[in-house]
Chain A
Amino acid sequence: MINFQYVRANSIADAVNLIADDPAAKFVAGGTNLIDLMKMDVEQPTKLIDISRLALDKVEDTAEGGLRIGAMVRNSDLAYHPAVEARYPVLSSAIRAGASQQLRNMASTGGNLLQRTRCAYFYDIALPCNKRTPGSGCGALAGHNRMHAILGTSDACIAVFPSDMCVALALLEARVHVSGPNGARTIAFDAFHRLPGETPQRDNNLEPGEMIVAVELPSAGFASNYSYLKIRDRLSYAFALVSVGVGLEIADGRIKAARLALGGVAHKPWRDTRAEAALAGQAANEAVFRQAADIVLRDARGFGHNNFKIELARRAIIRALTQAANGTPQSQSNKKIA
């Protein structure tokens, strides 16, 4: 870790100005990811701009019947917010599946979107990584890649975006409100995170100096038929090998609308609208779920240690869809797994 300056922003405008003045600076919110990366010398900001005291900690109803979540709302507060638990339980469930209680108490909504991959090669500055040091190569491709991506990979990078919360946000079609040197704009969730391609150093489409102000949820919450199923090596405090978020609208035994997104398999939350389309109008049964899983995984590719993830993802998709259709989703809080 190298020495750095610390300043506190007084307002959103102040934060945006501060960072415009100093491109080597970084915002710090909960600090649960950034500080670790600084200790490992992966990130070396010369200045931290603390945005954690800004009044961005509210969860508010929108005119459209949705919810607007301030960037500084802590993951725990969001997961247990009555409106989220009642109307967007898949989001609640996804957040509770992540990290640990202590981390969730610190982690912020904005920070969660911007957390970086847990790829070991990214974290260890002695090892090659195109995401950390463009052009240095990908250590994971021929290295230890059990946790790595099976979808949307490139020769430059097979890292996974590790967030659980963002899987739910993806299927809920959240919108990200940002503020920057050129004013405010809104980014659709699907357009927020990127695939690695040739530029794995860019995780997302936020422009330099832009700050996340809020995340907005549209009204559709899939509160009666949903599931967030996370498969991991231990029951808590472990990143997903594969996770599946599902929201269904079911009427008369038929699926009217479906949302399906995966975590732990790609450089971004992996939503598959073709699979969703294939589910729509069908009866809710295993054959249909299997078809959807096949669509999601049609181009899946393993890199050795992570080959098992393809079959695991297939089964997890089927299980999660079954749970959602039955209206008996797994509970992250009492840790039932079936």
Chain B
Amino acid sequence: MPELRLSQAPAHVRHGSNIGQPLTRRDGILKVTGTARFAADNHLPGMLYAVIATSSIARGRVTFLDVEAAKHHPGIVDVMTPAHKPPLAVDPEAKTNPFAFRLDLLHSDRVRYANQPIAVVIAESLEAATQGAKLLAPRYEAEPARVGLDANESYVPPSVGLFNQAEVQHGDANAALAAAPMRIEATYETPAQYHNAMEPHGVVAAWDGDTLSLDMPTQGLVMTRARIAELFGIAPEHIHIRSPFLGGGFGSKGIAVGPQILGIMAARLVGRPVKLVLGREQMYGPVGHRSATRQTMRIGADRDGTLTAIAHHAKISTSTFDDFYEPAADASHPLYASPAIATSHEAVRLDIGTPLFMRAPGEATGSIVLESVLDEAAWACRMDPLAFRIKNYAEVEPMSGRPFSSKRLRECYAQGAQRFGWSQRPLAPRQMRDDAGLLVGWGMGTAIFPALMFEAQARAVLRSDGTGVVESGTHDMGQGAWTAFAQIAADSLGLDLEQIEFKAGTSDLPDAGIAGGSAHTATAGSAIQDAGAAVIAKLADLATRDQHSPLFGAGNAGVIARGGRLFRRDDETRSESYADILRRAGVNELEARGKGAIDPAAQANYAMYAHGAVFAEVKVDPELGQIRATRMVGAFAVGRIINPKLVRSQLFGGMIWGQSFALNEEAITDRRSGRIINANLAEYHIPVHADVGALDVITVDEHDPHVNALGIKGVGEIGVVGSAGAVANAVWHATGVRVRRFPIRIDDVLEG
């Protein structure tokens, strides 16, 4: 088991209070020296290579696979097909729980999307398996592909996102719109986007009887283990998953994906360890994506800019065989005060892989449209976009009337605007030029993301030498989670970082829940904090009952744990080291478990969100239409910050993602074949370094006593949210052209 010890990593460790220190990520050196071992880096003795053959059509049936030809190729060990595969304990179509997405596990000859797995070739070498997959030369009975939001009849989905209602009304939006002196209606489109984590999905699987050993990236170790256990009909305890590092996940590695299960099936079929890793182009289909959307917004306002109605409708797509509905319109629920808010969704079933959570699912797609239309409304009222937003500031959660657990958005607006120089912005578009004659535009957007909590567990141990061990099966996806958790763990035990060992990344550790919803630090962090506090309580109990301890009798006054010692709270001259307390008590190890979960009472009483404001500058060549994002300032209020350096990086990454949403990302589908024709990183554009201008992040101090004991709100996704709209609005302000289809490209702003 690749065990990361803390001593391996951090380049700079500060002593004293750990939380709040800008520590360098403990995985950094491992990664830049190539010694961090990702799933696909594992090689087991006797291991075989599996390569998936994928469908070239989007809809129809596979009528023939030349298995014989493949099998005759040197090095091929076996070919897994619908007719030849190990049995599964449950139907891969069965919805055994809401997170059990239907998987394509060769259970039928049906083809439901392009790039669907249709066979798996297992060979002694990657090269042989690759050629074997080619030799299968499938034949199909093809039916016309239905792709694009108009390719099928639409319906109202049963729910959107995670069990949100598809249609929600607060007040009477239609009546308010009819009565509004200012009305804006606009339709926007956002394209399908793919997660494109740098590390492709993969698995190294080894069976030993009914025991299964897996190296695979996952954002949810225990959920993934449960799903695999269910599919193969074995006990979860018989599955051991190692996922020490993920090369990004963004939601597409939440639960085991079909291709990973196919790798495990292949290992079962041949009775040897198997490695299966997707090629980049194979990631465009079976592992999720962000749905394309078409959104219509209607906004009503008084002449002074007070919103009277927001009506947000989103058309979205899902696959023909499963349900995931991008909750795009829900972005209009929590942000701006309006007496009437109506949101609705409409879905179509297409011949595509099932969409999935992708960084800020719903928030990203909905926010760019909301922020754009708000900008249109501000201009219609001839108001500064920031003033317009402040005018419609929500003092309570608009739909429910609940107070916010904390909300320092006003400070975000103020500090961000100040740093950016927003007050110099001319109201009208096309007013600013730089020295080279380029059009300059400034735009802004508000960021918001719910402060979620799932459930997690942790275990903490104090050893007789006064050092500690903390365990929780957390996931480091590149965000630096382990460093932040180690900081929380050290503080919870009152120890320095060097004195604790933090264990994470394997499925035999306490369940850390899922690294998603920007809730991992809050959830697993709370569990860790809880476990540490429980051990310290036990230790305090030992000491205060022991007449030989200087802390004897301090029970009521209480003790403080710091630097490996307990101090009497009311008299810090009286203290004793952990090691001494344990030694005298004859205790070798003191252990406790902890739990992190939302406090239902707090949740019922408070609306909990992180907030932010993003200001962006773009420059546009007036004749040639080239758009450059030159500057972005984001100010965020995200509760307690465990590690400012990591938080900054997360927010930078989110802001760049937002820019990418506005200006670059788009999966292009060939309408006739249903195939994605830019399924590679050369043509599926994201910003390259040269495209990213100056980035600046401000974190506004925020103390939230309600979200959780640590006051953490989460930073993983919020950076995307306001940024996309800010960049889009800056393009309008530079050019005067309002582009309502994303990404915005040269062709869109070339003036006639």
Contact = CB atoms under 8 A, between A and B. Distances in A.
B487 to A, nearest CB: 36
A149 to B, nearest CB: 16
A315 B624 contact: yes
Given A234-B687, A234-B691, A1 B682 contact: no
Contact of A312 (B134, B624, B670): B624
Contact of B127 (A1, A121, A231, A316): A1
B746 A126 contact: no
B649 interface: no
Interface in B263-302: none
B750 A144 contact: no
A317 to B, nearest CB: 11
Interface string B380-419: 0000000000000000000000000000000000000000
A2 B746 contact: no
A124 B675 contact: yes
A173 B745 CA distance: 34
Interface string A203-239: 0000000000000000000000000000101111110
Contact of B673 (A127, A235, A318, A336): A127
A234 B688 CA distance: 8
B158 interface: no
Contacts of B624: 231, 312, 315-316, 319, 337
Contact of B664 (A234, A236, A319, A335): A234
B441 to A, nearest CB: 16
A225 B752 CA distance: 30
Interface string A238-259: 1001000000000000000000
Interface in B41-67: 56-57
A214 to B, nearest CB: 29
A134 interface: no
A146 B750 CA distance: 15
Interface string A312-338: 100110110000000000000001111
Contacts of A82: none
Contacts of B56: 125-126
Given A127-B673, A231-B624, A233-B685, A336 B747 contact: no
Interface in B716-741: none
- Secondary structure at the B interface, as helix, strand, loop or mixed, is loop
B69 interface: no
Contacts of A237: 682, 688
B39 to A, nearest CB: 22
A336 B624 CA distance: 13
A229 B688 CA distance: 19
Nearest to B671: A143
Contacts of A231: 624, 626, 746
A308 B746 contact: yes
A41 B114 CA distance: 17
A281 B575 CA distance: 95
B577 interface: no
B68 interface: no
Interface in B647-691: 664, 668, 670-673, 675, 677-678, 682-683, 685, 687-691
Contacts of B444: none
Contacts of B747: 146, 308, 312
B623 interface: yes
Interface in A69-118: 118
Contact of B750 (A41, A234, A235, A308): A308
B50 to A, nearest CB: 16
A240 B668 CA distance: 18
B675 A338 contact: no
Interface in A121-171: 121, 123-127, 139, 142-144, 146
B537 to A, nearest CB: 55
A120 B436 CA distance: 36
B80 to A, nearest CB: 20
A61 interface: no
B476 interface: no
A41 B134 contact: yes
A1 B130 contact: yes
B117 to A, nearest CB: 15
B131 interface: yes
B438 interface: yes
Contact of A235 (B438, B670, B688): B688
Nearest to B435: A338
A319 B670 contact: no
A3 interface: yes
Contacts of B130: 1
Given A126-B56, A338-B437, A338-B621, A235 B690 contact: yes
A41 B750 CA distance: 38
Nearest to A230: B626
Nearest to A336: B436
Given A233-B745, A234-B691, A126 B673 contact: yes
Interface string A298-320: 00000000001001100110110
B690 A2 contact: no
B672 to A, nearest CB: 7
B478 interface: no
Nearest to B619: A337
B390 to A, nearest CB: 34
B131 A1 contact: yes
A315 B623 contact: yes
A234 B691 CA distance: 7
B131 A2 contact: yes
A233 B690 contact: no
A311 B749 CA distance: 12
A311 B750 contact: yes
Given A2-B134, A233-B746, A235-B690, A120 B677 contact: yes
Interface in B616-642: 621, 623-626, 628
B746 A312 contact: yes
A126 B285 CA distance: 15
A238 B127 CA distance: 30
A51 B127 CA distance: 23
Nearest to B677: A120
A337 B626 CA distance: 8
Contacts of B689: 236
A144 B677 CA distance: 9
A331 B747 CA distance: 23
B707 to A, nearest CB: 38
Contact of B683 (A120, A125, A143, A338): A120
A235 B621 contact: no
A316 B675 CA distance: 33
A302 B752 CA distance: 16
Given A235-B688, A338-B437, A319 B623 contact: yes
Contacts of B688: 234-237
A338 B677 contact: no
Contacts of B438: 337-338
B691 to A, nearest CB: 5
A226 B354 CA distance: 51
Contacts of A311: 750, 752
A204 to B, nearest CB: 23
Contact of B131 (A3, A315, A336): A3
9 contacts: A3-B131, A118-B683, A120-B683, A143-B670, A231-B624, A308-B747, A311-B750, A311-B752, A338-B437
Interface of A: 1-3, 41, 118, 120-121, 123-127, 139, 142-144, 146, 231, 233-238, 241, 308, 311-312, 315-316, 318-319, 335-338
Interface of B: 56-57, 114, 127-128, 130-131, 134, 436-438, 621, 623-626, 628, 664, 668, 670-673, 675, 677-678, 682-683, 685, 687-691, 745-747, 750, 752
Given A126-B114, A126-B673, A312-B624, 18 more contacts: A1-B134, A121-B670, A124-B675, A126-B56, A127-B677, A139-B673, A233-B685, A234-B685, A234-B691, A235-B690, A235-B691, A236-B691, A238-B685, A308-B747, A312-B750, A315-B623, A315-B750, A319-B624
The 8 closest A-B pairs by CB, nearest first: A126-B56, A120-B677, A235-B690, A308-B747, A338-B436, A236-B690, A315-B623, A235-B691
